[in-house]
Structures are given as structure tokens and as C-alpha cells.
Structure 1
């Protein structure tokens, strides 16, 4: 099965109110679960919605690793987390294979990759387990499995940054351009101290500014950038850089 690295998602409604702080970046290295919480609560507005009937119960959450349980609790406060193009599953599923038992907690929307953790936990100290990416889990009898660079808590932050940017109310993406064209961005974008995301594909590194998320993919001397913004005005300010835009929401 051929799997494209990215598919155009449906944007969520534009946010209102002040631009969220990027202070969550200060927590990434010391408390990534707290960093995720700060990011999500600032980026998404509260909603008056009922808990999905398929959602995990409090008792079921107790049995999950801390980071995954925290994500599901956070999704109760900000249901937009379950509207990602590639969703974190409302109800993780159990599977097995050459790596032993696994708990699949997220999947690509095209069904060509998923993410899992060892299950049951390998030992009591596995509070922040490693994450496996499985390519084409449904159609390949012997699918490729790749160990993610980040443990679960930091991976969920990576995953959220990638998905939140993609379904932001306003988006802009560049075509390939020389790396040196990026220099003006470093004056206002803060780097997020995480490993490159999906290194087999775009190897994106994440950056943020108030109301703005950015992912940068660099290959030798060339780069592409994708932006997701909460407000049209925030995105419009990027026009001044005259990048070779493939998309720019007005």
C-alpha cells in the first residue's frame, strides 16, 4: 500500500481572544506532559460537549502510562484533540507481532501506519515507554517497525504539534527554497527542543510563536516550511518574507 506522508485535513474554526503564550516550551525538557497541557489549553478554546461514549473510563485510564492517560484527560477538556487528521484513538487497541504484545494508541488516517507501545508494560519502571511506528500494519504480513526517537510523553507532544498545525484555522506552506531564506524567521520563532518528527518523511522540526506553529523540513541546502495560525492577521504578517508559497490562506 502506498502511503503519502501528509493529507490535507479539515481546518477547525478560527479561535478568538488573545494569542496564547509559548511559555510551554520552557517545560518540554523537564515536564513534557505539563508542556502538552499548556500548549493545548492555550491553543484550543473550551467547548461545551458531552463525553464520547467510546471514550475510556476513569478506571481504564488508571491502567495506561501517565502520558497517554493525561492526553485522554486533556481531550475531555479540549475535544479538538480527537479531530486530528491522524487521530489518537479514542480506545487504544491491543495487537501482537514479532515485537510481542503492543497497544496501538494512534493511527494514520489512510491506514498505512500506526503507533504503539509495548503491552503489557515490560517492567514496573516503564512509566514513559518507547514508541514504535509500524508501516502498513494492515496490508503487509511483515511490516516495517521503526523505533521513535522520543519516549511516549515527548512523542505525544510532537504528534500534537504536527496535527494541531495541520488543522489550524489558517495555513501557509512553502515550496522548496534555499535554507538561508529561513534566517528572518529565527528573530521571532522559538525552537521546540524535540527530535525531528517522522524522519523517514519530512523530518520536521517544530517552532512556535504566539498564535503560530511552524514545522521546518531541511534537506542539505534546501528547506520547506509549514505554518498554522489561529488568526488571519498572524498569518498575514508572514507575507512580508516573500517566500515561494504553495498555499497561503487569506
Structure 2
């Protein structure tokens, strides 16, 4: 399978590290990773991901704790009638009962439906690039470090999608009939390293979250590189490109960012 892997060398004053865009779901056909990526990771001192493997393991429990509506409140109480009907239609598509999700906040419901959508596309988080890199890092006894904690990430998402935006959040749930097409567009954007197509799939609110995280991560990444940590940084593909993408922000800090050769498997 031909993949235009989005991996870059970042360098300044003789100090270097590597930056790779990932996708959180993938297919078995994407693997094994090409040798130049495996070797680059093995030669690094540590793998830096959005969250460490340990944090990722606890994220689900933390997310559910933050996801509950106030006692005595159900999702129907905060939605307009037509939006509530839209939600029930989406639930029927997945053969879900209202009681399975009515006590959760809108952002969590949208996330829950997205996870169900992923399962029907033939793509799996087991083949997500970030998970595969974490497995390789463990085999090479590399230190795994997260750019942020699970708690911080969940709080940021919850804060960006407040209950006051409940109607817009629920309307963003994609009908089951078009889910596969939407996810395939994102998948193809990744394997072809096509940031323009990916950007078109990201709504304004999600883009704002991405930009905020990029600006928080840039000094952390810069310090790791300049302190000779020789990091291999792996973050979602959507964080790399654009005016406020990590590539541009690192270039603004004086780093050169060059795509690694040998990127076609």
C-alpha cells in the first residue's frame, strides 16, 4: 500500500527531533511501518505523543466522570424539540435506546456516536498510527511522554463544547448512511498527506481547539529538541499544517522542518 507518510525532521543549531502526523484509526493494510520510520524511532531517545500510553489508558474513565449531566437533567431538557428528534433518529440507526445516553452531556454523546461510526467503516483504532508507534517504542524501551495529561485534554474538549451549544453539537452527528464516506475522505487525506482535504472536514470549533493545543505544545517541543532529548513527536495529522500548524509555529521559532525522504512504502 502506497502511503505518503507525513514525517519531518525538525532542526535548529545542530539539535534535532522528528515530527510525525498520525491518524487514530487505520487499516491492517497500512502495516508494517516502513523501515525508515522504524529506524528513526529506534534512534530517538523518547516517543512524545498527545498523551502517554499510561494516560491514554485512564482517559476513558476520566472522560465518563466529566461527561454526566447534572443530577435530574437529561439531554432532552437542553435540546430544541427538532434537534432531540434528530438525535433519536441517529440513535435508531445504531439500534440504541435513549436510556443508554440520555444522562450524558452533548459533547460526550457526539463522541460516543463517532466511536460507533468508526466501528462500521472497517477501520480500527487498533491500527491507529499512534498506537502502533507506542508499541514499537515499548519494544525499543523508549521513554513514552505525553504533551498533556488526560485530564487536561478532556477538560479542554468539555470546555470548548459547552452545554449551551448543545443543539449545534448534536446536529454535528453524521447520519449513518454518510459516515463511511466522511471517514474514508479523512483516511485518504492521511495516506496521501493531503492537509487541504483534511482541513475541509474540520469544523470551526474543532479547528480552534487544535490551534490552542498547537500553541501550547510548540514551546514544549522546542525545549525537548534544544535540550538534546532527540524526541520523536507523534500527534494527530490535523495538528501539522496551516498558519497555526506545528510546522509553521516551529519555523517561526527558528527551526527548519524538512520532510524525510523515503516516505513512500
TM-score over 0.5 for the alignment? no
Higher relative contact order (CA 8 A, sep 6+): 2
Structure 1 or 2: larger strand share?
1
Q: Which structure has the greater CA radius of gyration?
A: 2
TM-score (norm 1): 0.29
